[in-house]
Structure 1
């Protein structure tokens, strides 16, 4: 398998990578959100924390944009809800679905039903819109800690954005 010359030059630091127009919106301040935003900035994302509770909004890494009102995610945005236990879950997802986000997902254990489904149904969100919300998110690498969950999530987003399967299959 031969790598593209441009990709090799970038990987070796011989050329600059073309800037990507992309945004990662982490919804709700949490340990995972902190790592997601930190690593996302390293990957060239515009990092945004949406935390409706102003008292919690200060828990964001340096350089991340912090919003206490819902952002209007454009087609370059990936939205990741990092706490599925919050009472605002349904309304936050409803707002994200009303925007143009490229991708929307909710973190959570895949062995348990996602609470976002009932929260959105209670708000009369149409089933096709509910189906746009991904769960689980990220690559299945056995992640357990907040940094590992962030890595798995971002790897999954990059694979999806680049139309790749993830894992070791090329």
Structure 2
């Protein structure tokens, strides 16, 4: 079987896909984080919500209060760029060598993560590893759409694909 026929067999339910160890760390409890965690679990990710503020995460099932060491298989998505912990959270994710680190935000505005990381003395090369904007450009507006675009972008990146309609 070729990779193409293997993928076809999996899509038709005729074969099992090989399990891939994946972790998605959604940083900060938010409406987008809720959808990211739900959809990522369907995609086979082990999901983790990191939220240091207990009150903000009251209606989330499982929450880590300390940013776990996500490891090299993890994708870390910061879902709120207005939080004062932004720099320290990103610094920890970068130090843990997560596979991919990104911050949600409007691409027409400068990312506050850059200055926050510079103030902490994070090297420019590491700052450059932080993706912003994240996801595929599909005109997302709602939290569910933003989560779908983000996960589609992560899958494209993980699979070495450009995303969109190019094959």
In structure 2, C-alpha distance between the alignment counterparts of 1:9 and 1:58, rounded to whole Å:
42
In structure 1, C-alpha distance between the alignment counterparts of 2:48 and 2:24, rounded to whole Å:
6
In structure 2, C-alpha distance between the alignment counterparts of 1:74 and 1:92, rounded to whole Å:
14
In structure 2, C-alpha distance between the alignment counterparts of 1:17 and 1:128, rounded to whole Å:
36
Which has a greater percent of helix?
Answer: 2
Q: Which sections of structure 2, spanning at least 5 residues, go unmatched?
A: none
Picking from 89, 106, 109, the partner of 1:109 is 106
**Could you tell me which residue of structure 1 aligns to residue 12 of structure 2?**
12
User: Would you say 1:30 and 2:30 are equivalent positions?
Assistant: yes
Are 1:26 and 1:50, in contact at CA under 8 Å, matched by a contact in 2? yes
Q: Deviations over 1:105-138 (max 9, x none)?
A: 0000000000000111111111111111000000
Are 1:78 and 1:102, in contact at CA under 8 Å, matched by a contact in 2? yes
In structure 1, C-alpha distance between the alignment counterparts of 2:96 and 2:133, rounded to whole Å:
21
In structure 1, C-alpha distance between the alignment counterparts of 2:63 and 2:127, rounded to whole Å:
26
Deviation at 1:57? 2.4
**Could you tell me which residue of structure 1 aligns to residue 55 of structure 2?**
55
User: Would you say 1:153 and 2:153 are equivalent positions?
Assistant: no
**Could you tell me which residue of structure 2 aligns to residue 78 of structure 1?**
75
In structure 2, C-alpha distance between the alignment counterparts of 1:109 and 1:10, rounded to whole Å:
36
TM-score, scaled to structure 1: 0.94
In structure 2, C-alpha distance between the alignment counterparts of 1:71 and 1:86, rounded to whole Å:
18
In structure 1, C-alpha distance between the alignment counterparts of 2:76 and 2:59, rounded to whole Å:
18
Deviation at 1:82? 0.1
Are 1:30 and 1:59, in contact at CA under 8 Å, matched by a contact in 2? no
Over 4 Å off, 4+ runs: none
Residues 12 and 128 from structure 1, CA distance in 2 versus in 1: closer, same or farther, beyond 3 angstroms? same
Deviation at 1:59? 3.5
